[in-house]
Amino acid sequence: MIKMGVIGYGYWGPNIVRNFGETPNARVVVCCDRDPKRLEAVKSKHPSIATTDDFEKVIKDPGVDALSIVTPVATHYKFARKALEAGKHVLVEKPLAASVAEAESLVNIAGKCGLTLMVNHTFIYTGAVRKMKEIMETGDIGDIYYFDSVRINLGLFQKDINVLWDLAPHDLSILGHLVKEQPTSVCAVGSCQFGNGVESVAYLTVYFNSGLIAHFHNNWLAPVKIRSVIVGGSKKMILYDDMQASEKIKVYDRGVEVNGQKSVHDTLVSYRMGDMWAPKLDTTEALRGVAAEFVDCVQTGRKPLTDGISGLNVVKILEASEMSIKHRGREVKL
């Protein structure tokens, strides 16, 4: 039985508490928040869970095996580092940390201490992304030409992080999960609308040596909610439309054929249209899978699917994108 402490009981914390509460071999024993009202909320809904506003007390508690850090990004590093140093396994919300230096530090500490460090890249545990992974591993898609993601809506504005730090981790983690090749550089552009230096609209390109190009559109100012990913392969293409109630994944037997090449500048390309197939997806709540993965990794010592390295890889791209935006789209090496 893994005894969990949950740090932060704001917007997202209740989902963490509920899911660990329903996971075999896990139990939430304590919740920590600075806001007494939030602790009241815990007590009223979960009378059996202890509450405290003292983080230090939690990490010193020998009855706590592991922590789930559900606080603003800027504080991830502080809490996670202290927890690891106190010998606790740690699950951190995305993005793993506010800088590459912080993320690397967490990875190193966890490695040295032999503790589980996992980042909550929730989407990796959805039925949709698991199915995409399964399909792509068969090779049916062929070479991957591009990965195009759009995640936009009229959003909850963040004051401390821009729209890429807020929304792109979801799709960057999906990219990192589906594509084994490491990206080499990024370009990003964005715009601030409210004089506060925080971009509300941004576009990010990630380059790979193979020619694969990944692109991300994130926007807090969109009138409609779009959450889609297209994976364009040489043999087949996948459309992942997360706004669909069913048929979130569509596999198109469509592709391109190079029919000959008269010269460098005269390649004959034609395209092929075939059937579309929408596989049935597992609809288990993704966060349930996150909790199960974390508990299992703590118990067995194996690496989580979304380990510290995958969290670090996302932060590397985010940090580089911020520099690229400042230089108005200049390529920044990773």
List the interface residues with its own copies, window 126-165 (CB under 8 A). 145-146, 148, 150, 154-155, 157, 159-160
Residue 171's Cβ-side half-sphere holds a number of Cα atoms within 13 Å equal to: 31
Distance of alpha carbon 85 from alpha carbon 104, whole angstroms: 15
Any contact of residue 72 with its own copies (CB under 8 A)?
no
Q: Which residues, including other chains, have CB under 8 Å from residue 48's CB and lie 6 or more apart?
A: none
Any contact of residue 232 with its own copies (CB under 8 A)?
yes
**The only residue of 3, 61, 81, 221 in contact with its own copies, by rule CB under 8 A:** 221
Distance of alpha carbon 228 from alpha carbon 223, whole angstroms: 16
Distance of alpha carbon 292 from alpha carbon 294, whole angstroms: 5
Shortest reach from residue 191's CB to its own copies, in Å: 4
Site string for its own copies, 8-47 (x = CB under 8 A): ---------------------------------------x
Shortest reach from residue 308's CB to its own copies, in Å: 29
Asked if 157 and 221 count as a contact pair (C-beta separation under 8 A), the reply is no
What is the DSSP track for 210-260?
Answer: TS-EEEEEEESEEEEEEEEEEEEESS-EEEEETTSSS--EEEE--EEEEEE
Instruction: Give the number of other CB atoms < 10 A from CB of residue 84.
Output: 25
Any contact of residue 185 with its own copies (CB under 8 A)?
yes
Any contact of residue 196 with its own copies (CB under 8 A)?
yes
Size of the site for its own copies (CB under 8 A): 75
Shortest reach from residue 183's CB to its own copies, in Å: 13
Closest to its own copies by CB, 123 vs 203, is: 203
List the interface residues with its own copies, window 92-121 (CB under 8 A). none
Closest to its own copies by CB, 101 vs 243, is: 243
Any contact of residue 182 with its own copies (CB under 8 A)?
no
List the interface residues with its own copies, window 243-302 (CB under 8 A). 243, 245-247, 250, 252-254, 256, 258, 261, 264-267, 269-271, 273-280
Closest to its own copies by CB, 86 vs 206, is: 206
Closest to its own copies by CB, 220 vs 294, is: 220
CA distances from 209 to 11, 20, 314 (A): 40, 40, 18
Distance of alpha carbon 117 from alpha carbon 94, whole angstroms: 12
Segment interacting with its own copies, rule: CB under 8 A, options 106-114, 118-126, 133-141, 238-246: 238-246
Could you tell me which residues are beta bridge partners of residue 272?
255
